[in-house]
Chains A and B, each alone.
Chain A
Amino acid sequence: METLFANLALGFSVAFSFENLTFALLGAFIGTAIGVLPGIGPVATISLLLPITFGMSPTTAIIMLAGIYYGSQYGGSTTAILLNLPGEVSSVVTVIEGYKMARNGRAGAALATAALGSFFAGSVATVVVAASGPLLTSVALSFGPADYFSLMFLGLIISAVLAQGSIVKGIGMVVLGVGLGLVGTDVQTGQQRFTFGVPELSDGVGFVAIAMGMFGIAEIILNLERPESRNVMTNKVGSLYLTREEFRRAVPAVLRGTALGTVLGILPGGGASLSAFGSYMVERKVSKYRHLFGTGAIEGVAGPEAANNAAAQSSFIPLLTLGIPANAVMALMVGALIIQGIQPGPRMVEAQPDLFWGLICSMWVGNLMLVIINLPMIGMWVKLLEVPYRHLYPAIMIFCSIGIYSINNNVFDVYLMVLFGIFGYLCSKLKLEGAPLLIGFVLGPMMEEHLRRAMLLSRGDIMVFIERPISASMLAIAAIALLAMLLPGLRSGKEKAMAEGG
């Protein structure tokens, strides 16, 4: 314990140097800005800024890049809440309750919850990383392909709960999402699937194109067709900050989200994206206010935002202890470190203690910066909603268009977004939910990959999923969750049908 404090003291002495503080602030600021812009993500920004970091000290460089990463995560939630525009997997969940809150005039509260919840989660996860990072590495290594498959399967099952209405329709959208995720080059054989010979599809349908089309663009058309409802939003900008009641409801959700996110973030590949909607599912099942879900429940913002940020933090564990990046942003960080002559991995703790502990402490500093930057800005963001919608929608539209173009510098993605705009509009007319589709889209391909790898390694023996304890328990939970969801659904459906029939 003493060494932990000594290490943290060393870390904070590094993080609190004037130069590092400045760059943490700068990184968090840039990150927030790019997170707010749809389509322009942290990966593109970090690689743009990479050459600038060549001249910095490694610690400062990585601190700034980490700041961008957190900042963009937070900025993404801002547009999700205000404009129904999810830029990333994690903010798909924030959209569900956050945008409803904004429509109820509680945009300020939703944004404040996201900021404070993220800060709390970040602080806890920082301590966890510092105290038990190396230990937790073994968790990441104990997950084999079969275990990942079962985890993803569990994720898909519970994602059906994201649907507001019929469970069967929710599952249908999840499965359709899985199907969409299979478009592109098959990882195992290199064969093209469902690409119609279009080269742009060979790397799959872009997540951002689906998310922006189905949420952002479809929402514009929906708002334009009901002029009466969109003015409600501008007239009802209530108190900016949390009421006592909201605060009381958010706290337990944040605590649960933090715990879930910290654990899932350790798993490389998919762990972090599972955390946000895992938390949503938990809140929807255990919260005292679960009947309010779907109408703008603050728990549905607080839990997933906390989980997401905690996972972003703990996803540094495999990077720092194994040198294995958990996602594309982490891969860039590895690149930045290697160029600086530092190899992330178990030896980094001993070889560069100031970098290692400085980075961990700067995670916390970065989170603090985010709160400092964003809390005062909430008022400004909410003011954005007072802009008449006829001025707002062309802006949303062109920002989406430029953003989606800039991802691959290819107009094909623009047309893809249009296509998903039509599909999203169709879905909302038929009460089909977009969120489960996106989750299926993200998890489906990973699930296929792990399934096929598990079967290759076991030489076709399906028992591998039951013999491994981790996998077996995941599948058991999935079975229970499925039963728990379907039974009341069927019962209420039957009751409803009978009531109407009689």
Chain B
Amino acid sequence: MAGELTRRALAAGAALLAMPRLARAQAWPSGPVRIVVPFAPGGSTDLTARLVADGLAQRIGVPVVVENRPGAGATTGSQVVADAAPDGQTLVMSNIASHAISPALYGNLRYDPVTSFTHIAMVITNPSVWVVNPRSEINNLADLVQAAKAKPGGLDMASSGAGSSNHLMLVRFSELAGIEHTHIPFRGAGPAMTAVIAGQVPMMSDSLPSAAGHIRQGSVRAIAISSAERHPAFPDVPTFREQGFDLSSTSWFALSGPAGMQPAVVERLHREIMAVIATPASQQRFAELGGTAGNMTPAEFTAFVAEEVARWAPVVRASGATVG
């Protein structure tokens, strides 16, 4: 009897404790929202996340904190969120590395980029831009192909790292153009850009935000941009398509949560994030970064992630980059 009573008391106590949990889960947000950034502080993902967090906090009235969980090609932080409770309090800054390339690169990944997450909103997309030293004689992709064919072993082409989306673009382009290239990987875009400016490497593939300033001030020359259409800020730079190469690719940063989030919370988050990135201040900052604010419904975004995964897997295989 006494045992029964204790058990009942325990059950009641547990229910009491559990109750606020349920109630709060319904009334999102139930406390500070954390956005996991799977990169180290200071990169463009981190900057974007902090811009969004700042605006989101003002709109939803709870603190939004950015937490950096870098490592393993952005998969460490993504894994943390895939494992978190789907209560809308933990989100990840999903991106082309963590949710499109790394799944092909890392054989032992525990999450599925599509089904382990609830994809909420696209935040910003950045095209890649190919730049050459201004003193170089390469003015367009045709010159580039010619230069590559003239040099034994192919032209030296730099990127911000092996397995980065910019490296994979070089691989894809060489396939399309039927040329060889010697990939010169760097540790990040900054050192690669230095090498191009100093003339040690003839060209590099870089994301527009990190190259924009250098293009504007003339320390490098842009020969092609990877977006489908020309970029409003750089109307003189032709796309790959215009130059006869069927290549278009953008790197993207978005917000996703763990799989199984409540549709109402997803809808609310999507609405708030769209509102945050629609403010003139955000638009201006995105423009300065060279990116385009995202505009996809959660369903469209989920389909987009699936497409990206399918699209990059063969390129990763062709690049020869592998991990564990």
Listed in ascending order, the chain A residues whose CB lies under 8 Å from chain B are: 43-44, 46-47, 50-51, 54, 140-142, 144-145, 185-192, 195, 197, 199-200, 202-203, 268-269, 318, 322-325, 328-329, 331-332, 335, 338-339, 341, 343-347, 408-410, 449, 453, 456-457, 459
Contact = CB atoms under 8 A, between A and B. Distances in A.
List the 7 closest A-B pairs by CB distance, nearest first: A47-B41, A343-B213, A190-B321, A141-B198, A332-B42, A190-B162, A202-B72
A491 B123 CA distance: 67
Contacts of A200: 71-72, 76
Contacts of A51: 50-51, 53-54
A343 B156 contact: no
Contacts of A186: 162
Interface string B189-213: 0110111011011000000010011
Contact of A268 (B67, B191, B321, B324): B191
B289 interface: yes
A141 B320 contact: no
A332 B68 CA distance: 14
A225 to B, nearest CB: 36
Interface string B42-74: 111011001101100000000000111111110
A50 B200 CA distance: 34
Contacts of A325: 190
B193 A347 contact: no
A145 B200 contact: yes
A403 to B, nearest CB: 15
A192 B41 CA distance: 23
B156 A457 contact: yes
A457 B41 contact: no
A190 B217 contact: no
A346 B217 CA distance: 8
B162 A187 contact: yes
Interface stretch (B20-28, B135-143, B179-187, B242-250): B179-187
Contact of B217 (A142, A185, A345): A345
Nearest to A141: B198
Given A43-B41, A191-B323, A195-B324, A322 B219 contact: yes
Nearest to A144: B200
Given A322-B197, A328-B40, A192 B69 contact: no
Nearest to B281: A54
Given A47-B42, A203-B72, A322-B194, A338 B50 contact: no
Nearest to A445: B187
Contacts of A268: 190-191, 194
Nearest to B158: A453
B51 A410 contact: no
A56 to B, nearest CB: 14
| Interface size grouping (class) on chain B | 35 or more
A459 to B, nearest CB: 6
Contacts of B115: none
Given A51-B53, A188-B162, A328-B42, A408 B68 contact: yes
Contacts of A145: 195, 200
Contacts of A456: 156, 182, 184
27 contacts: A43-B41, A46-B42, A188-B185, A190-B323, A191-B323, A192-B324, A199-B72, A199-B76, A268-B194, A322-B194, A323-B213, A324-B190, A324-B194, A328-B42, A335-B42, A335-B43, A335-B47, A338-B288, A341-B284, A341-B288, A345-B214, A346-B217, A346-B219, A409-B68, A453-B186, A456-B156, A457-B184
Main secondary structure, interface of B, reads mixed
B50 A47 contact: yes
A205 to B, nearest CB: 12
A376 to B, nearest CB: 32
A54 B54 contact: yes
Contacts of A187: 161-162, 185-187
Contacts of B40: 43, 328
Contacts of B44: 335
Contacts of A332: 41-42
B146 interface: no
A408 B70 contact: yes
A304 to B, nearest CB: 26
Contacts of B323: 185, 190-192, 202
B285 interface: yes
Given A409-B69, A456-B184, A339 B201 contact: no
Q: Which of A43, A331, A346 has the most CB of B within 10 A?
A: A331
B197 A141 contact: yes
B279 interface: no
Contacts of A195: 324
Nearest to A339: B285
Q: Which of A140, A203, A268, A338 is packed against the most chain B CB atoms within 10 Å?
A: A338
Given A199-B72, A203-B70, A453-B184, 17 more contacts: A43-B41, A51-B54, A54-B54, A188-B185, A192-B323, A195-B324, A202-B72, A203-B72, A324-B191, A338-B209, A343-B212, A343-B213, A345-B214, A408-B69, A409-B69, A410-B69, A456-B156
Nearest to A269: B191
Contacts of B76: 199-200, 410
B68 A47 contact: yes
Given A44-B41, A50-B47, A203 B54 contact: no
A339 B47 contact: yes
B6 interface: no
A409 B156 CA distance: 39
B262 interface: no
B162 A189 contact: yes
B213 A344 contact: yes
Contacts of B201: 457
A43 B54 CA distance: 19
A202 B184 contact: no
B268 interface: no
A199 B107 CA distance: 12
Nearest to A325: B190
Nearest to A45: B41
A50 B324 CA distance: 36
Given A145-B200, A335-B42, A459-B153, A190 B214 contact: no
B311 interface: no
Contacts of B217: 323, 343, 345-347
Nearest to B164: A190
A57 to B, nearest CB: 15
A353 to B, nearest CB: 16
A459 B156 CA distance: 10
Nearest to B105: A190
A117 B253 CA distance: 45
Interface in B70-91: 70-73, 75-76, 79
